Structure 1
Amino acid sequence: MTVMNKKDISCMLHSRVSGRPAATPGEGPQPSVLPLPAADRKNKSVLRLLAAVMLLVLPTAAQAAAVSGTSGADTVAQAATDTGAVPVATLPAVASLDDIPADTLWTQANAAYSNGSYRQAVELYDALLARGVHSGKLYYNLGNSWFKQGRMGKAILNYNRALLLDPTDEDTQYNLAMANARIVDKIDAVPEFFLKTWLRDLGLTLGTDTWAVLGLIFLGATFAAVILWLLSNTLALRKSGFYGGLASLALCLACTFYAHFQRTRLLHGNEAVVMNLVAPVKSSPGAGSKDIFVLHEGTKVRMLEQLGGWTEIVLSDGNKGWITSNAIEAIVRNGGTE
């Protein structure tokens, strides 16, 4: 399956760090060939005779010798052709990724993805994450790169991380649904009260910063309404200030609550995704305990507590058990996803 979403998911995104355009394959300095040392006049005819004999007897060896001066450049060019990621002049060595500017890494990672070099794209996106760069688009692109390699667990993990930072992104929501459709475990969630679902979905419509800004705006409106109530000379204006102040205060508290709700999700989330192809869930923390059910790659769980390399989890259908901690990966990274 090559179509991942309803939009173009080529991930050729402009760098949010810099407007520097990505280099195009074929650019860059051409490899130079060092000239052979000059021979003496006395030996020139002998050298030509030997070269003719070699061409007649060993044509393959002669061809290899003819290009030996540019073997290093050809190797790099072949690597760029194999990966299809970036032109030769900008292909970074793994050991020197720390020396590459962030905007260049971003451009090269997007180029690697668009040219089908998904493994290299993952390496470059991970290099950005290692520098503390986090964004919804970065996790979205990383999820797409894993999806293309058939790693649904990694794809679902990064789509969920992208939605933590941008919960309203439709492309991420669509791709997450596509990835969830490909996993083995199909778990029916326990139905919850509709009002709880509605209030949670309302909180996810905006991000933490947006809710915080709205809270400050309504706080200012509350102060303005109080001043109107205190200083107005007419009963109508005093009533408007009083009821307007109550309404603004209620909205301020609601926005503050949702801002706290979103920030808690970003910093203290307890959800994780199964990374192993097969992960047995046991009745107690210990290798000798009884297996109660088995989970597969890509299943999302909620973590309850950890004990000696084991984590107690609960599924959306209410089933609980213990799983080895290295079989799952938390959606909220250490220190949060910001």
Structure 2
Amino acid sequence: MKKLVTILVLFFNLAVFSQTQDQLFAEANTFYKEANYERALGVYLAIEEEGLVSSDLYFNLGNTYYKLNKVAPAIYYYEKALKLNPANEDARFNLAFAKRMTIDVIDELPKTVFQRFSANIIQKLSFDTWALIAVIASFLASFLFLMYHFSDATRKKLLYFNTTIIAVVVMLISVFFAFNNYKTVKKNRIAIIFAPKVEVKNAPTSSSDEVFELHEGTKVIILDELDNWKKIKIADGKVGWMNDEELKEI
């Protein structure tokens, strides 16, 4: 009886919490529509502090920071929205506009055929989505195989056999894409420069030589870390060290 009461109380609290978040989200959207961006930002951040993880929330935060001409936070939240949902085309479109506010112009290194395929196909969906497709394909393959096994008509058996093979192929491809996507996301630790200007060093010490400089809003990849220093790489392949207080990891 005590366990039942505990479960009921838990579900009640979750329902109230969800309702409160929905109300706050609607309130923040109203402030945004009224161009009261400071108040909208405060409410959106309050929702985030409650632990809500949502591509829509991050997208709205990016929009709000963009309206406030705060380039680094805008890019940061657009990137977070895309990390959760790579198919969020609105976030991708607005991110392109936000990047125009940055100072650094960095030419990307040429990509290999597989890198282009990964960016244009595999990374278009999250690894959770690819995993879901794999699970659905596996259930479909099992069902079609049973239909093949119990079917008496030759034409139907051929149809079920061929569709089973197709479902298995889709399952295997989806598993491969999910694994590749997961490995890419975990390997590439992306961060955004938040400091107005950063001197990137050739070693993790303040007295080391500057190799290049970056400005707020620029995206970097974290390669390594030592104490309060991060080893970073930018799109053109340049590598250096910077203080971890000057960037924010996505």
Structure-1-length-normalised TM-score? 0.62
Q: Residue 185 of structure 1 aligns with which residue?
A: 104
Q: Residue 202 of structure 1 aligns with which residue?
A: 121
Question: Any residues of structure 2 matched to 1:249-288 within 5 Å, and which?
Answer: 249-262=168-181, 269-288=188-207
Q: Matches of 2:28 and 2:186 in 1, distance apart? A: 27
**Corresponding letter in the other structure for 1:279:** V
Q: Residue 224 of structure 1 aligns with which residue?
A: 143
Q: Residue 131 of structure 2 aligns with which residue?
A: 212
Q: Which has the higher strand share?
A: 2
Q: Residue 306 of structure 1 aligns with which residue?
A: 225
Q: Matches of 1:231 and 1:104 in 2, distance apart? A: 53
Q: Please state how far the C-alpha of 1:266 moved relative to its aligned partner.
A: 6.5
Q: Matches of 2:65 and 2:248 in 1, distance apart? A: 15
Q: Provide, for residues 41-82 of structure 1, a one-character-per-residue CA deviation record: whole Å limited to 9, x for no partner.
A: xxxxxxxxxxxxxxxxxxxxxxxxxxxxxxxxxxxxxxxxxx
Q: Provide, for residues 210-258 of structure 1, a one-character-per-residue CA deviation record: whole Å limited to 9, x for no partner.
A: 3333212211232234445555667665555554433322210222233
SS at match of 1:306: strand
**Corresponding letter in the other structure for 1:217:** I
Q: Matches of 1:237 and 1:115 in 2, distance apart? A: 61
Q: Residue 49 of structure 2 aligns with which residue?
A: 130
SS at match of 1:204: helix
SS at match of 2:97: helix
Question: Any residues of structure 2 matched to 1:99-178 within 5 Å, and which?
Answer: 101-178=20-97
**Corresponding letter in the other structure for 1:161:** K
Question: Any residues of structure 2 matched to 1:55-66 within 5 Å, and which?
Answer: none
Q: Matches of 1:190 and 1:325 in 2, distance apart? A: 25
Q: Please state how far the C-alpha of 1:301 moved relative to its aligned partner.
A: 0.5
Structure-2-length-normalised TM-score? 0.82
How many aligned positions are there?
233
Q: Please state how far the C-alpha of 1:298 moved relative to its aligned partner.
A: 0.5
**Corresponding letter in the other structure for 1:108:** E
Identify which range, 113-122 or 275-284, moves more after superposition: 113-122
Q: Residue 326 of structure 1 aligns with which residue?
A: 245
**Corresponding letter in the other structure for 1:314:** K
Identify which range, 312-321 or 207-216, moves more after superposition: 207-216
- For the aligned residue pairs, the C-alpha RMSD in angstroms reads 2.4
Q: Matches of 2:54 and 2:126 in 1, distance apart? A: 13
Change (3 A) 1:103 1:229: closer
Q: Residue 293 of structure 1 aligns with which residue?
A: 212
Identify which range, 165-174 or 292-301, moves more after superposition: 165-174
Q: Matches of 1:189 and 1:135 in 2, distance apart? A: 29
Change (3 A) 1:261 1:292: same
**Corresponding letter in the other structure for 1:213:** L
Q: Matches of 1:225 and 1:270 in 2, distance apart? A: 41
Q: Find runs of 4+ consecutive structure 1 residues off by over 6 angstroms.
A: 265-268
Is there any run of 5+ residues in structure 1 with no aligned partner, and where? 1-16, 19-100, 332-338
Is there any run of 5+ residues in structure 2 with no aligned partner, and where? 1-17
SS at match of 2:109: coil
Q: Matches of 2:33 and 2:181 in 1, distance apart? A: 33
Q: Please state how far the C-alpha of 1:260 moved relative to its aligned partner.
A: 4.0
Preserved CA contact (<8 Å) 1:153 1:297:
yes
**Corresponding letter in the other structure for 1:146:** Y
Preserved CA contact (<8 Å) 1:164 1:265:
no
Q: Matches of 1:268 and 1:123 in 2, distance apart? A: 33
Question: Any residues of structure 2 matched to 1:14-53 within 5 Å, and which?
Answer: none
Q: Provide, for residues 273-311 of structure 1, a one-character-per-residue CA deviation record: whole Å limited to 9, x for no partner.
A: 100010110001010100000000000000011101000
Q: Which has the higher helix share?
A: 2
Q: Matches of 2:145 and 2:227 in 1, distance apart? A: 56
